[in-house]
Structure 1
Amino acid sequence: MKTAKKTVNSATRAATERQAKSAAVAKAKALAPELPARIGATPATRFRGDPDIFGRLVEDHDRHRALLAMIDATEGKSPERQRLFKELVLEIKGHAAAEEQALWSTVLRDPATTEDARHAVAEHHEMDEMLADLAARDMASSGWLRRFAKLREEYLHHVREEEQEQFVAAQKHLAPADVRYMRRVFNRRKKAEKAGAEVEKKIKLKD
């Protein structure tokens, strides 16, 4: 009986995760329905589809994975590449700022998780620099494509690390009521931060 119940719960959980991932990808696809959004298999995470801050953050991560894949499917200075890159910049900047306010500002105050929070925030700043560098360069150049590939690699590493390590560590030190409240804070701040975000252009001297 217990085994059957566990199997049903596992199947329900898997269905919830698939639905959450599909919904996030669909949001990205709405910008350019004709482009593929092949994000493939994603790193295992316990949070996809959860009704709390961590589930909400993974939702954004999946949307960003789709945007990165779609940009990779564009060419030159096409309107699709320009539109999708702008959306990616505003999405990541709004997401990072809201994540810092809703989650990491609290996690920073706990000595047990301070280092994880600092690491995540530091990588947010690195992403900002890489996005600004890309925005300042010629989208049709081989150099832009090379730098975009590097950004994609770094961002996918960043979100994988958050989902598999940093969120897990933070959850252990937060009450269930806290993570549910943080989702509401994140949603409010994400909307405001994305609306106020801009595409900055600043070339980095070092590759």
Structure 2
Amino acid sequence: MQNNIASLSKAASESKQKAVLSASILAPQLPIRLGSTPKTSFRGHADIFGRLVEDHDKHRALIAMIGETSGASEERKKLFKELVRDIKAHAAAEEQALWSTVMRNPKTTDQARHAVSEHKELDDMLADLAARDMASSGWLRRFNQMKEEYLHHIKEEEQEQFLAAQKNLTDPEISEILRLFRVRKQTEKAAAEVEKKIRIKK
């Protein structure tokens, strides 16, 4: 039992390190003050849910690194572009592979709809940030608002929505969802562009 727990803990730690490393390569000179991450039973797992958490950890690292930049620096531009493209590809692939399947089950339809609606909200916030001057005083304030929304969204997925989905999916479905996610994420990332659109609040 203890060996199994130690093995799971090691896998979770290695998964998080791998995700942080993939972000740090873009600007190795910047510190990554990630702090603690929300507990999730999926980190380090070889299934679709572990794969999604690995992306989340990369995004957490990119967000932390952007917080270490200033003005319209090249580091901020490069990190923000990668964050936007990876979140867009991740969300699109997640919707196509996971949430489209989960939505078909009445027990989890609402969870899936909620996750997809938050993707749209975050996409709008990222497009708004991309359209604004990074050197302006309001850019970091808006970025921090987006950060709060995104970190809440992925915490909710990891601690609630993934658990509900897992309970209502078969092992073959989970395997197929992972296969499809890997294919779609690669395709979506290759095509992802940074949209610029000022958000008009109603």
The answer, yes or no, to whether TM exceeds 0.5 is yes
State the Cα distance separating 1:142 from its structure 2 match.
1.5
SS at the partner of 2:33? coil
Alignment correspondent of 1:75: 70
From 103, 108, 124, the equivalent of 2:119 is: 124
In the alignment, is the contact (CA less than 8 A) between 1:51 and 1:180 conserved in 2? no
Rounded to whole Å, the distance in 2 between the matches of 1:153 and 1:91 is 18
State the Cα distance separating 1:29 from its structure 2 match.
0.4
How many residues in Structure 1 have an aligned counterpart in Structure 2? 202
Matched, 1:189 2:184: yes
Matched, 1:206 2:201: yes
Q: Specify the code of the residue in structure 2 equivalent to 1:186.
A: F
Matched, 1:142 2:134: no
Aligned-pair Cα RMSD in Å = 0.9
Alignment correspondent of 1:19: 14
Alignment correspondent of 1:30: 25
Rounded to whole Å, the distance in 1 between the matches of 2:9 and 2:135 is 40
Rounded to whole Å, the distance in 1 between the matches of 2:11 and 2:3 is 12
Alignment correspondent of 2:50: 55
Alignment correspondent of 1:10: 5
User: Could you list the runs of 4 or more consecutive aligned residues of structure 1 that deviate by over 6 angstroms after TM superposition?
Assistant: none
Alignment correspondent of 2:100: 105
TM-score normalised by the chain length of structure 2: 0.98
Q: Gapped runs of 5+ residues in structure 2?
A: none
> Residue deviations 1:38-73, cap 9 Å, x none?
211111101011111101000000000000000010
> How high is the sequence identity, in percent, across the aligned residues?
63
Q: Specify the code of the residue in structure 2 equivalent to 1:183.
A: L
Q: Specify the code of the residue in structure 1 equivalent to 2:137.
A: S
State the Cα distance separating 1:205 from its structure 2 match.
2.0
Matched, 1:94 2:89: yes
State the Cα distance separating 1:177 from its structure 2 match.
1.9
Q: Gapped runs of 5+ residues in structure 1?
A: 1-5
Matched, 1:133 2:128: yes
Shifted more, 171-180 versus 159-168: the winner is 171-180
> Residue deviations 1:3-31, cap 9 Å, x none?
xxx12211111111000000000000011
